[in-house]
Amino acid sequence: MNNSIMKWNFWWSSPEKLGEFKWIERDALKSATALMKSPRIKDIIGVRRAGKTFLMYQIVSRLIKEGVKPEEILYLNFDDPEFKEIKKTISASLEIKPDIKYVFLDEVQNIPGWERDIRAYYDRKEFKQIFVSGSSASLISRDVGKTLTGRHITILVTPFSFKEFISKHNINYKDPFQKEKVTHYLEKFLQEGGFPETLTEEAVTNEPILVNTYNDIVVRDVVSRFGADSEAAKNLAYYLMTNIGSQFSENSVAKSLNMHNETVKKYLAMLSEVFLFYYIKQFSWKVKEQIKKGMKCYSIDTGLRNAVSFKFSDDLGKLAENAALVELKRRGCEAYFWKGKREVDFIVRKGNKLTAINVAYTDTPHKREKEGLMEFKEKYKDAKLVIITKELEQTSEDGIEHVPLWKWLLNEN
């Protein structure tokens, strides 16, 4: 075990190797750094290969830059078969380096009952900071919720946002002379997505990387961890990837795939728990109506979706819609869709304030985009109305804001 501990904590002997992880400062790093003022446990969650481990290394690097001694920082990855118990592994680490103050525990979901051990360390104030990570929303939130109530803060790590994506390509989006580059890279972003591993390779290699990532998520995180039937899980995931932005119900999917309703319900939850898909319900102030009227699904990443699903000729509009929804989720927004005679892609609720958004990704939006928004406003008079376009930027006489997708993705307000 000691050799594995030393291997994972290479900065104890060679802190200069952390220089390899300076690549780009993620938005999540800023969040994590700000939250260091709190002693609460930080749980880092997100889809597999989105950069959770990389983020932990960046935090370690920042701590050392700020004067923390390398031997005061411990990182343990519980994908390592040498690490079977949290207490024993931390105790062995303390025998090597007795002054540990900062603890990073990666892939903790692999250890049954991990949350009880973490609570004990936290309650005894044995360490200044504890970070844990995992690739399952329900596993971490459920376990943390039961055992660590009031003791934790969650940090979500997603594939790169568009802002992070263009930063990687050294583009200053605030410079008007670089607007053409920004719009060029927007379409590249919609096609290739933002998984970090794909941004270090030539485009020709991206598809196999993404297919491998997708298979790892479905096979390792859904089939192996939850015991799902491999063929059924793959069929459902493929169906959802091919139908992003389309309304569906558990019953309609069950009929299409010849599966039982309960199986579909269970597998939909699994695919969401590992962050492969986001689901949104129809907007209503009444919860019962939301449940009755089905849902829409969106992929965690447009590049991942393109690599594994059947593609249509008009995909760019759907990809723009998908990118907008993922950005809303990244910002922590409460999002729904709405359907009357016409449809509204997204209803964003903040308290009692509503914003209705249609994603057109064209500069000549079809009249149905406007009609859907105006129909919604007839029912909800104070709603703000937005059409996300390709380049068009204006506020029309009826009060609808038209905002280019690239600008909307970059403006967090």
- CA–CA separation, 192 vs 302, rounded Å? 7
**Token pair recorded at residue 115:** 């949350």
pLDDT at 413 (0 to 100): 58
| Alpha-carbon distances of 157 from 122, 136, 306, rounded to whole Å | 23, 12, 21
What is the pTM (predicted TM-score) of this model? 0.92
Q: Which of 181, 183, 209, 173 is nearest to 194 (CA)?
A: 209
What is the arrangement of strands in the sheet containing 295-299, beginning at the earlier edge strand? 247-248, 295-299, 277-281
pLDDT at 177 (0 to 100): 85
SS3 407: helix
**Token pair recorded at residue 291:** 């449940």
Share of the chain above pLDDT 90, in %: 75
* pLDDT tens track for 186-219: 999 999 999 998 987 655 678 899 999 999 999 9
- CA–CA separation, 229 vs 227, rounded Å? 7
Cβ neighbours of residue 159 under 8 Å, at least 6 residues apart? Answer: 47, 50, 51, 193, 194, 195, 196, 300, 301, 303, 304
State how far Cα 201 lies from the chain centre: 21
pLDDT at 3 (0 to 100): 95
pLDDT at 220 (0 to 100): 87
Q: How many CB atoms lie within 10 A of CB 383?
A: 20
- How much is the average pLDDT of 157-165? 95
Residue 138 reports pLDDT greater than 60: no
172 half-sphere exposure, CB direction, 13 A CA radius: 4
Share of the chain above pLDDT 70, in %: 93
- CA–CA separation, 89 vs 108, rounded Å? 12
Burial of 203 (0-12, 13-18, 19+ CB in 10 A): exposed
Among the ranges given (105-109, 267-271, 375-379), the one the predictor scored with the smallest mean pLDDT:
105-109
Residue 412 reports pLDDT greater than 70: no
The DSSP letter of residue 281 is E
Cβ neighbours of residue 37 under 8 Å, at least 6 residues apart? Answer: none
| Alpha-carbon distances of 353 from 115, 215, 283, 314, 336, rounded to whole Å | 37, 40, 13, 33, 13
pLDDT at 287 (0 to 100): 66
Domains in the chain, ordered, with CATH? 2-156 (3.40.50.300), 162-410 (no CATH)
